[in-house]
Amino acid sequence: MTTKLYWHDSHMTQFSAQVVACFVHHGDRVVVLDQSAFYPGGGGQPHDTGAINAARVLAVSLADHGCLLHHLEDDVPFKVGEAVACEVDWPRRLEMLQQHTGQHILSQAFWQLCGAETRGFRIFEQVAEIDLTLDGSPDALTAAIERAEELANAVVFDDRVVRLHTVTPAAAAQLPLRKESFSAECIRVVEIADFDWSPCGGTHAQHTGEVGLIAVRGWERAKRMTRVQFVCGTRALRDYRTANQTATSVACHLSVGRDEASEAVLRLLEEQKKLARRARALVELAAQAEAQALLDATPVAHGPRMIVRIFEDRDFDDVKLLAHRLVAYHGVLVLLVARTREMVRLVFARSADLPMDVNRLLQVACEKLGGRGGGKPDFAQGGGTRVAELERVISDAAASFTV
Ligand SMILES: [Zn+2]
């Protein structure tokens, strides 16, 4: 069994130890020491990283028999009995103990204010989250979360001492523990002075001030509970910087102050909706006028009036709208094309009073263009990529129309 130095001192980062075993396990070079300050992970908190001599420790895990396994980056063998100098990565440990201790504080705040229990806790790369037995309307939940956040930060600003107690299960039963411990052996209780008592084996701050700001990032309903995402300490600072940069950048684009950015975006969206409505009305007017002009320019002949046009780099939706407006007149046949360098898109349509099947014609045309298309007997659309074939395909289609 490895002596767990982190158990009594969460701030120990440098220590010496003796190698007890060194072997390859599932492809990893693993070292076992007689004592270690590396936290193996557990209770929602990830493992530490660091170094043993010059070898990088990428992961630490706890074996069934109580041994800590240090997984190395490279296959560096150590001699059994060898004395080694070890170092735990402090920035990572600090970040983890801030989130972890922050969770103790936030969970107690929800318990005191709302009677909500914490049923789950996880630390991810960017945020940590707790699952709470908390329910209510979105407004009520938002208000409850804000109150818990305020109480949690008041406890941080008090800079209360965090104490560790190793107690028997009988002694633990006398303490106002937030969650039960089912251990039959001596358990470790983490006390946040005059606020929270929890059985826990993780690494913690020494004073609540060390946790830094506790900021709720968001919440959602999940598994009939309320899941609250939060960041503490160094993470809260990083998160604030990112949020501030985003807000400042948006405000800068809109030439307003940071705190006016949200209002300005709403105004912009409203304006954009109005412009879109106006643009749709203008496109409609233009399509009607263009349809009229095309019909005026087409000589009245015996039988249907045929309108064939190829448009360069034109929006296909506009071309389809034009086709619709043209076939709203009696006796009109339409072959319209939107062409780019890479592909052509076609719409074939006819007035309701004409009998021919433009869908069949369109499919023949699309096949020749190396593409596909479809629709109804009076209105069909499609396209293809053999742009060079277009003129011939169109003249073939026009010829079969007139038959
Ligand atoms: Zn803990």
CB atoms within 10 A of CB 231: 24
Mean pLDDT is lowest, of 22-26, 30-34, 173-177, for: 173-177
Ligand 1 centroid to Cα of residue 383, in Å, is 64
Ligand 1 centroid to Cα of residue 399, in Å, is 83
Q: What pLDDT is attached to residue 293?
A: 96
- Asked if residues 3 and 12 have their Cβ atoms less than 8 Å apart, the reply is no
Q: Which residue shows structure tokens 């001030």?
A: 209
Residues with CB under 5 A from ligand 1 (ion): 200, 202
Ligand 1 centroid to Cα of residue 109, in Å, is 15
Instruction: Quote the tokens at residue 202.
Output: 């993780």
Q: What pLDDT is attached to residue 43?
A: 84
Ligand 1 centroid to Cα of residue 208, in Å, is 13
Ligand 1 centroid to Cα of residue 53, in Å, is 29
Q: What pLDDT is attached to residue 179?
A: 79
- Sheet with 344-350: strands ordered across: 305-312, 332-339, 344-350, 379-384, 372-376
Mean pLDDT is lowest, of 11-15, 49-53, 181-185, 221-225, for: 181-185
Ligand 1 centroid to Cα of residue 197, in Å, is 10
Query: pLDDT tens digits, residue range 169-219?
Result: 888 888 889 877 666 677 889 999 999 999 998 999 999 999 999 999 999
Q: What is the average per-residue pLDDT within 310-325? A: 95
Query: pLDDT tens digits, residue range 214-258?
Result: 999 999 999 999 999 999 999 999 999 999 999 999 999 999 999
Q: What is the average per-residue pLDDT within 68-74? A: 96
Ligand 1 centroid to Cα of residue 97, in Å, is 8
Ligand 1 centroid to Cα of residue 200, in Å, is 5
Query: CA 359, CA 342: separation in Å to the nearest integer?
Result: 23
Instruction: Quote the tokens at residue 342.
Output: 């890479």
Q: What pLDDT is attached to residue 182?
A: 66
Query: CA 30, CA 76: separation in Å to the nearest integer?
Result: 9
What's the pLDDT band for 119 if we cut at 50, 70, 90?
very high
Reduced to 3 states (helix: H, G, I; strand: E, B; else coil), residue 135 is coil
State the average pLDDT for the chain.
94
Ligand 1 centroid to Cα of residue 202, in Å, is 5
Q: What pLDDT is attached to residue 398?
A: 86
Ligand 1 centroid to Cα of residue 356, in Å, is 78
Q: What is the average per-residue pLDDT within 289-318? A: 91
Query: Does the pLDDT value for residue 403 go beyond 80?
Result: no
